Structure 1
Amino acid sequence: MLLNYLAAHENEMEYVVGELKNRADPKALNTYVYDYLEHKPIRTHRTCDAPYAALGFNEICREIFDFHDQVTDLYRTLVGKAEIPEARELLESLLELEQHEAMRLVRQTGRMDDL
């Protein structure tokens, strides 16, 4: 049940980010990100190395929350490095979206754990 919920949630996030991309200023979309990604790539399975299907509820949640923390950290760093207002605005929107969705994930998975 948790993996199905997470898959649906990530599909929804993909759609929302795609819509942001469609509406974003081209100057912001053509801004390079290479400095951050060279030093701190976003990685999966930092909290464990087993496939999700072999993990328990809490282990999956820990892994997913760690991933979202990395994405939030990426957006925060990039907001601070953005040199043009259009890029800063886009990154702030992505940061706000990521923070909101991470909180929603915590709430929803907490409810599932209660079941």
Structure 2
Amino acid sequence: MAMIPETMHDILDVTRQLHRELGQHLSQSADDNASERSQMLLNYLAEHEERLARTLETFQKKSDLGSLDTWFYEYTDRHRVIHLDPAETPFANMDTSEIEQEMGQFHDQLIDLYTHLHERAENETAKEVLAQLLELETTKAKLLSFESGRSQEF
């Protein structure tokens, strides 16, 4: 992503777009993966990422507009929002355990970002929004890990 997010609104835009792009890449990779089990997992993950992108979009529309204007430029001008580019991850050539590991790292980066910003937020409204985002991402990551693990049973 070329854009450097400066406000909470920008961060939500970037993370929503990352989830959407990841979902598209996972879906495309499923078509190219030779393993039926990996294809099923990739398709499931693609749907999950698209739902998460829609959830963030709804969250953004319903959030307190003032908190979305909170500036975080001091952090984002020196740190990339995400270090792994989902489009460069070769999911089509991975087995299920490698896919799960990559997805875990991706979501861990977002959890780290939200945690870091929450700890440094200067107003309560921004802290509340970040706490909600952190809870959303953490819950979804745990669910994803659990569901992915269950897919190994079949």
Say yes or no: TM over 0.5. Answer: yes
Equivalent-residue separation in structure 1 for 2:98 and 2:85 (angstroms) = 10
Structure 1 residue 45: Cα displacement: 5.9
Structure 1 residue 5: Cα displacement: 0.6
Q: Give the TM-score taking structure 1 as reference length.
A: 0.90
Q: Is the 8 A contact 1:36 1:74 kept in 2?
A: no
Q: Secondary structure at the match of 1:114?
A: coil
Output the amino acid matched with 1:95.
L
Number of aligned residue pairs: 113
Equivalent-residue separation in structure 2 for 1:72 and 1:18 (angstroms) = 18
Tell me, yes or no, if structure 1 residue 31 matches structure 2 residue 45. no
Q: Give the TM-score taking structure 2 as reference length.
A: 0.68
Aligned to 1:43: 83
- Of 81, 94, 109, which residue of structure 2 is paired with 1:55? 94
Where does the alignment leave 5 or more consecutive residues of structure 2 unmatched?
A: 1-39
Pair 1:50–1:76, CA change in 2 (3 A) = closer
Where does the alignment leave 5 or more consecutive residues of structure 1 unmatched?
A: none
Pair 1:70–1:50, CA change in 2 (3 A) = closer
- Of 114, 119, 137, which residue of structure 2 is paired with 1:98? 137
Equivalent-residue separation in structure 2 for 1:50 and 1:12 (angstroms) = 20
Structure 1 residue 37: Cα displacement: 2.8
Aligned to 1:86: 125
Provide, for residues 68-100 of structure 1, a one-character-per-residue CA deviation record: whole Å limited to 9, x for no partner.
Answer: 111001111111111111111110000000110
